[in-house]
Amino acid sequence: MFRRMPEGFDHQIGARDADVVQAIEQEGLSTFTFDGLRRITGSHPETLSRALERLEDDGMIVKTTEGYSTTDKAKELVALRPAFSSEKRLPVLHTYLPPGVRASAISSALKGKWFDRMRWVGLSETEEGVVLKWVTDDGKVLIDARLSDGELDIDARVKKEADFAGAVRAAYQLMGRISRLYSSPRPGSRVMLFPIGYYPSAM
CATH number, position 134? 3.30.310
- The answer to whether residue 202 sits within a structural domain is no
- The answer to whether residue 2 sits within a structural domain is no
Q: Which of 149, 146, 151 is nearest to 96 (CA)?
A: 151
- The answer to whether residue 129 sits within a structural domain is yes
pLDDT digit string, tens, across residues 72-124: 887 676 655 554 444 456 888 898 887 777 778 888 888 888 888 889 999 88
Alpha-carbon 164 to chain mean position = 18
More confident residue, 201 or 156: 156
Split into its structural domains, the chain has a count of 2
Domain identity same for 158 and 94: yes
Question: Has residue 177 got a pLDDT over 90?
Answer: no
Question: Residue 88: its pLDDT value, please?
Answer: 56
Domain identity same for 73 and 122: no
Domain identity same for 15 and 43: yes
pLDDT digit string, tens, across residues 134-145: 998 888 889 999
pTM for this entry: 0.70
pLDDT digit string, tens, across residues 3-52: 444 444 444 567 778 778 877 877 778 888 888 888 888 888 899 999 99
- Bridge-based pairing of strands 151-158 and 141-148 is antiparallel
> What is residue 160's three-state secondary structure?
coil
**Structural domain containing residue 34:** 9-78
Question: Residue 187: its pLDDT value, please?
Answer: 39
Question: Residue 12: its pLDDT value, please?
Answer: 59
